[in-house]
Every structure is written in C-alpha cells, then in structure tokens.
C-alpha cells in the first residue's frame, strides 16, 4: 500500500507533544518562560545576538519593516520569486515595492539584480532590500550586503526557507551582513510551531523596537516614558498602573504553547537538516538520468543549504506536455506537488499598483519549477517512487 505524499509536512514526535502538554499544565499559556526559552534556543542555533519570537513569518516581516521605520515614499527591493508576504510587508507600512529579478537557475537575487532594481525606483527613495534565501539556498550575503551598505540600504533577510543554512561559513540568522533576518515556523517549514515566526538581529535598538511593536507598541519602561507628569508620582516613582504607547504596534506575540513546540523542534534541527540533505542527494541521483529534461534547482557553491523544499526545473515544452498535466497526473498517483512561486510582480494587486515589470529571470524560473515531496519522515524508496512517477508522466 503506497501512502499519499505531500510536498512538505512536519514531523511531530512524543517529546514534542510532551513539551506542549507541560505548558498546558503550567500557569503561563502566553507571555511566559516558554517564549524566552524559545528565543534563547533560536539564538543558539542561529548565532544571533537577539531573537524576537512572534506569531508568524509574515508578522516577523511586518515587524522588521516597522522597526526600520520604513514608510510612504520609501522603496523596498524584493525579489519577485518569493511568497507574497515578503513584498506585502513593505506595503503594510506604506512603502513601495520594487521587484528585482532572479537567477533563472537558482531563483536567487544576485547583486546585478539589485543594481537593476535600484534604477527602477522612480521617485521613491530606496531604503531597504529584502533578499530571500529560496528553497534553503542562500543569497550571497557578503556581496549583497556590501552593495546594500554602499547604497545606504537596510537589509532584511527573508530566511523563512533557510533555518540552519550556512553560507560563506556563517549561519543564517546571525546577521553578519544584514540588519535583521526573518524566520517562519509554519508546519511546512523545517521546524514547526503551528503558527510562529521570529526576527533575529545583532542590533540592540532594533531588537527593542521589535519587542515594542510585537505587543501593541506599549512600554512599561520608565526610562522611555514621554509624559512624566502622568507617569510618575510626587516622589518620582513610576505609577504602578502606568504604560505608554508612542506608536501603535500589533498583537504579534507567540504563545507559550507554540514556543514550547518550537523549542522542542529546534533541538532536532541538525537531524532534520541531515535527513533533508540525504533525501535531496537521493533525488539528485535518481533524477540524473532524466537530464536535461529535468534538472534539480541550480546550486550555489558557497552555501550549505538546510533544504526547505525540493525544486526541480522541467522543460515541459520539450517533454511535449505542460505543468498542469504533470501535476494532475502525479496527483493521481498520490504525489502532491507545488509551484514556488508564481512571481509576485504578476499578482493582480501588484500589476494594478505598478505597471508590469519585465523580469525575465523570474519568469524563466517560474516556467520550469516544480516542487516535489520532501519531508523528514519521507523514505528513500519514496524518492524513487516520485522520480519513477515523474519519468512515466513525462514520457
Ligand atoms: C512561509 C514564508 C513566509 C511567511 O511565513 P508565515 O509564517 O506563513 O507567515 C514569508 N516568506 C517566505 C519566503 C516564506 O516561505
């Protein structure tokens, strides 16, 4: 009996369940020690100075945009091959999105794509770039970070695909060449916490702002109070009930329930990464005979990826078929596939907002990409099964 294969899924084990149950039996379901525990664990696996947990990767992106005080009149450069949330974060704060092209083989933004996008900012002031570490492979951050620094741009890495990836000898999330990095812990990502996200940074002031905006923009720090007459009593002591909000934030907190799961899962990151790498290698070997019709996603030499998804590039036209037919035929065999991603600049919202940008690299990547099943609980024999099915469907 063959089982249905999703393109990605979580692996939850008994100790993960026990960690969540322990929180459910404790006093704090939110705002408690499991949240700070998760942040400490994330700092240790990323090498970050600060980690701020929040309710999703999308919330993390929004918090990063707020912490940088991006707003109307500002331009944010975003590669078009990403999840919509990367671009939307700029729109949440009223900034303009300028889409960058990507390498058609890797889907990654390179410095020349950033340079080209900077020339398309029009009247908006370029303030930030949000590079995306697609599929678990990293953008060349040393080079891109250097270019950004020369152009006076903030850098926020969308590392939602790349927890555990190492590039140029540096862990993703340490922010060696960026201001912040953003993670998601949605169940399809490498580490699951239900819904959850985080921002890492080496910058104390940014970390403080992230924490502020994560919880309504409310502060109880006496040193930050702007209205001393209301904040302090006659003896100069802060009034015990008093808090202040200088700028509205959101409720983007992560609960202790989610964070307990996240901490338990983070402890397994090395094992998850190893298993995903083994599966990707098995795919590589099994797919080799299907070249050049089917090729794994292009590799960057300086990155040791913590693979998030298994993307292949298929020349559907040369195979005399199209992607819809292939996806449906694989689905009939119990194999779920996906497309990561429909280039964001082609979404109706962005097409209506900005006149259509020609991004040939993004279009070429999109035309061929297909995401095959990859998850920690997958068997090597199932890799063989997927590749055999793909071969049958294409011939
Ligand atoms: C998943 C993902 C997000 C959003 O994360 P959520 O936790 O689902 O909000 C953002 N960017 C990329 C590249 C993602 O893959």
Cβ pair 341, 83 in contact under 8 A: yes
* Ligand 1, pocket-test mutation among 85, 341, 343, most atoms within 8 A of CB: 85
Compute, in angstroms, the gap from residue 189 CA to the centroid of ligand 1.
9
Distance CA 205, CA 211 (A): 10
- The residues, ordered by sequence, that sit 6+ positions from 389 with a Cβ below 8 Å of its Cβ are 330, 333, 335
* Residue 1 confidence (pLDDT): 58
Backbone angles phi, psi at 126, to 5 degrees: -60, 120
Residue 186 alpha carbon, nearest atom of ligand 1: 7
Which residue, by CA, sits nearest to atom 14 of ligand 1? Answer: 160
Give the mutation target among 87, 160, 161 for probing the ligand 1 site: most ligand atoms within 8 A of CB.
160
In this predicted structure, what is the pLDDT of residue 292? 96
Query: For the chain, how long is the longest CA-to-CA vector?
Result: 84
Exposure class string for 335-372: b at 16+ Cβ within 10 A, else e: bbbbebbebbbbbeebeeeeeebebebbbbbbebbbbb
pLDDT at 301: 86
- Tokens 């400490």 correspond to 40
> How many angstroms separate the alpha carbon of residue 330 from the centre of ligand 1?
26
- Domains delineated in the chain: 14-268 (3.40.640.10), 270-394 (3.90.1150.10)
* Nearest atom within ligand 1 for CA of residue 133: 13
Rounded CA separation 189/199 (Å): 15
Phi, psi of 5, rounded to the nearest 5 degrees: -110, 115
Alpha-carbon distance values, 244 to 213, 230, 233 (Å): 12, 10, 15
Unique residue bearing structure tokens 């006496």: 222
Residue 260 CA to ligand 1 center (angstroms) comes to 20
3-state secondary structure at position 242: coil
Q: How far is the CA of 224 from the centre of ligand 1 (A)?
A: 33
Atom of ligand 1 nearest to the CA of 195: 7
Provide the annotated active-site residues.
Answer: 189
Q: Are strands 166-167 and 170-171 parallel, antiparallel or unpaired?
A: antiparallel
User: Using a 6 Å CB cutoff, which residues line ligand 1?
Assistant: 56-58, 82-83, 85-86, 132, 158, 160-161, 184, 186, 197
Closest CA to 174 of 67, 7, 51: 51
The packing angle between helices 380-394 and 269-287, to 10°, is 40
- Please check whether residue 144 is in contact with residue 130, taking contact to mean a CB–CB distance below 8 angstroms: no
- pLDDT tens string, the chain, 395 residues long: the values are 589 999 999 999 999 999 999 999 999 999 999 999 999 999 999 999 999 999 999 999 999 999 999 999 999 999 999 999 999 999 999 999 999 999 999 999 999 999 999 999 999 999 999 999 999 999 999 999 999 999 999 999 999 999 999 998 899 999 999 999 999 999 999 999 999 999 999 999 999 999 999 999 999 999 999 999 999 999 999 999 999 999 999 999 999 999 999 999 999 999 999 999 999 999 999 999 999 999 999 999 899 999 999 999 999 999 999 999 999 999 999 999 999 999 999 999 999 999 888 999 999 999 999 999 999 999 999 999 999 999 999 98
């Amino acid at each position: 009996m063959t089982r249905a294969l999703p393109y990605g899924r979580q692996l939850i084990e008994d100790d993960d369940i026990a960690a969540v149950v322990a929180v459910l039996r404790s006093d704090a379901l939110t705002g408690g020690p499991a949240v700070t525990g998760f942040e400490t664990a994330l700092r240790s696996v990323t090498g970050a100075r600060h980690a701020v947990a929040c309710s999703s990767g999308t919330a993390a992106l929004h918090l990063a945009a707020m912490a940088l005080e991006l707003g109307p009149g500002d331009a944010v450069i975003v590669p078009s091959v990403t999840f919509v949330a990367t671009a939307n974060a700029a729109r949440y704060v009223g900034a303009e999105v300028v889409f960058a092209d990507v390498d058609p083989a890797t889907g990654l933004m390179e410095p020349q794509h950033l340079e080209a996008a900077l020339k398309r900012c029009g009247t908006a002031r370029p303030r930030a770039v949000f590079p995306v570490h697609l599929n678990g492979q990293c953008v060349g951050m040393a080079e891109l970070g250097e270019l950004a620094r020369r152009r006076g741009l903030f850098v926020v890495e969308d590392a939602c695909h790349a927890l555990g990836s190492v590039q140029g000898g540096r862990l993703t999330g340490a922010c060696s060449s960026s201001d912040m990095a953003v993670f998601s812990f949605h169940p399809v990502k490498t580490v699951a916490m239900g819904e959850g996200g985080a921002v890492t940074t080496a910058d104390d002031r940014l970390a403080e702002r992230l924490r502020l905006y994560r919880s309504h923009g409310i502060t109880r720090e006496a040193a930050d109070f702007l209205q001393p007459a209301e904040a302090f009593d006659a003896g100069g002591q802060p009034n015990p009930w008093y808090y202040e909000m200088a700028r509205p934030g959101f409720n983007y907190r992560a609960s202790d329930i989610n964070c307990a799961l996240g901490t338990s899962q983070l402890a397994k990151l090395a094992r998850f990464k190893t298993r995903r790498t083994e599966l990707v290698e098995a795919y590589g070997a099994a797919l080799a005979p299907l070249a050049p019709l089917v090729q794994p996603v292009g590799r960057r030499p300086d990155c040791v990826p913590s693979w998030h998804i298994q993307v292949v590039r298929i020349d559907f036209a040369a195979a005399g078929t199209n992607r819809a037919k292939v996806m449906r035929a694989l689905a009939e065999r119990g194999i779920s596939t996906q497309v990561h991603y429909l280039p964001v600049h082609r979404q109706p919202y962005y097409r209506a907002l900005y006149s259509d940008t020609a991004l040939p690299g993004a279009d070429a990547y999109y035309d061929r990409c297909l995401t095959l099943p990859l998850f920690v609980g997958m068997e090597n024999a199932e890799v063989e099964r997927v590749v055999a099915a793909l071969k049958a469907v294409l011939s």
